[in-house]
Amino acid sequence: MDMSAYETALAALERHRQENRDFDLRAAFAGDPQRFSRFSLRLDDLLLDYSKCAVGEETLRLLARAAEAVGLAEQREAMFSGARINTTENRAVLHTALRNSAGPVLVDGRDVMADVEAVLAAMSAFAEGVRSGALKGATGKPFTDVVNIGIGGSDLGPVMATLALAPYHDGPRLHYVSNIDGAHIADTLKGLDPQTTLFIVASKTFTTVETMTNAGTARAWVAQALGQDAVGAHFAAVSTALDKVAAFGIEQARVFGFWDWVGGRYSLWSAIGLPIMIAVGPQNFRRMLAGAEAMDRHFRSAPMLENMPVLLGLIGFWHRAICGYPSRAVIPYDQRLLRLPAYLQQLDMESNGKRVTLDGEPVSMPTGPLVWGEPGTNGQHAFFQLLHQGTDIIPVEFILAAEGHEPALRHHHELLAANCLAQSEALMKGRTLEEAKAQLRARGLDELQAAALAPHRVFPGNRPSLTILYRRLDPFSLGRLIALYEHRVFVEAALFRINAFDQWGVELGKELATELLPVVEGKKDAAGRDSSTAGLVAHLAALRG
Ligand X SMILES: O=P(O)(O)OC[C@H]1O[C@](O)(CO)[C@@H](O)[C@@H]1O
Interacting residues with ligand X (CB under 6 A): 151-154, 203-205, 208, 211, 264-265, 350, 503, 506
In the complex, what is the shortest distance from the CB of residue 229 to ligand X, in angstroms, rounded to a whole number? 27
Q: Between 221 and 258, name the residue whose CB sits nearer to ligand X.
A: 258
Query: Comparing C-alpha atoms, which of 100, 97, 118 is closest to residue 256?
Result: 118
Q: How far apart are CA 61 and CA 99, in angstroms?
A: 32
Q: How far apart are CA 179 and CA 370, in angstroms?
A: 22
Q: Between 162 and 211, name the residue whose CB sits nearer to ligand X.
A: 211
**First CA to last CA distance, the chain:** 61
Contact yes or no for 197/233 (Cβ under 8 A): no
Query: Comparing C-alpha atoms, which of 138, 162, 155 is closest to residue 201?
Result: 155
Q: Between 131 and 265, name the residue whose CB sits nearer to ligand X.
A: 265
CA separation, residue 107 to residues 75, 84, 262, 382, 431 (Å): 16, 9, 12, 48, 56
Which helix (H) or strand (E) element contains residue 125?
A: helix 113-132
In the complex, what is the shortest distance from the CB of residue 501 to ligand X, in angstroms, rounded to a whole number? 10
Q: Between 154 and 462, name the residue whose CB sits nearer to ligand X.
A: 154
Query: Among 141, 510, 524, 539, which one carries the catalytic annotation?
Result: 510
Query: Among 210, 293, 350, 374, which one carries the catalytic annotation?
Result: 350
Query: Among 190, 361, 381, 511, which one carries the catalytic annotation?
Result: 381
Q: Between 205 and 533, name the residue whose CB sits nearer to ligand X.
A: 205
Contact yes or no for 494/67 (Cβ under 8 A): yes
In the complex, what is the shortest distance from the CB of residue 208 to ligand X, in angstroms, rounded to a whole number? 3
Known active-site residue 204: no
Contact yes or no for 326/392 (Cβ under 8 A): yes
- How distant is the alpha carbon of residue 377 from its chain centre? 20
Q: How far apart are CA 488 and CA 468, in angstroms?
A: 13
In the complex, what is the shortest distance from the CB of residue 209 to ligand X, in angstroms, rounded to a whole number? 9
- The DSSP bridge pattern shows strands 110-111 and 106-107 to be antiparallel
Q: Between 72 and 151, name the residue whose CB sits nearer to ligand X.
A: 151
Residues 6+ apart with CB under 8 A from 535: none
Beta-strand (E) ranges in 178-322? Answer: 197-202, 235-239, 255-257
Other Cβ atoms closer than 10 A to 544:
8
Q: Between 213 and 327, name the residue whose CB sits nearer to ligand X.
A: 213
In the complex, what is the shortest distance from the CB of residue 149 to ligand X, in angstroms, rounded to a whole number? 10
Q: How far apart are CA 148 and CA 215, in angstroms?
A: 10
Known active-site residue 381: yes
The helix/strand/coil state of 337 is: helix
The helix/strand/coil state of 33 is: coil
Q: Between 61 and 244, name the residue whose CB sits nearer to ligand X.
A: 244
In the complex, what is the shortest distance from the CB of residue 509 to ligand X, in angstroms, rounded to a whole number? 9
Q: Between 211 and 467, name the residue whose CB sits nearer to ligand X.
A: 211
In the complex, what is the shortest distance from the CB of residue 89 to ligand X, in angstroms, rounded to a whole number? 11
The torsion angles phi and psi of 277, rounded to 5 degrees, stand at: -65, -40
Q: How far apart are CA 430 and CA 367, in angstroms?
A: 29
Give the angle 375-377-383 at the CA atoms, nearest 5°: 75
Q: How far apart are CA 530 and CA 300, in angstroms?
A: 51
In the complex, what is the shortest distance from the CB of residue 257 to ligand X, in angstroms, rounded to a whole number? 13
Known active-site residue 350: yes
In the complex, what is the shortest distance from the CB of residue 321 to ligand X, in angstroms, rounded to a whole number? 24
Q: Between 272 and 450, name the residue whose CB sits nearer to ligand X.
A: 272
Contact yes or no for 252/246 (Cβ under 8 A): yes
Q: Which long-range contacts (CB under 8 A, 24 or more apart) does 223-230 make?
A: 225/194, 225/195, 226/137, 226/138, 226/139, 226/194, 226/195, 227/138, 229/138, 230/137, 230/138, 230/139, 230/194
If you ran DSSP here, which 8-state letter would residue 361 be given?
P
- The DSSP bridge pattern shows strands 46-49 and 465-470 to be antiparallel
Q: What positions carry a catalytic annotation?
A: 350, 381, 510
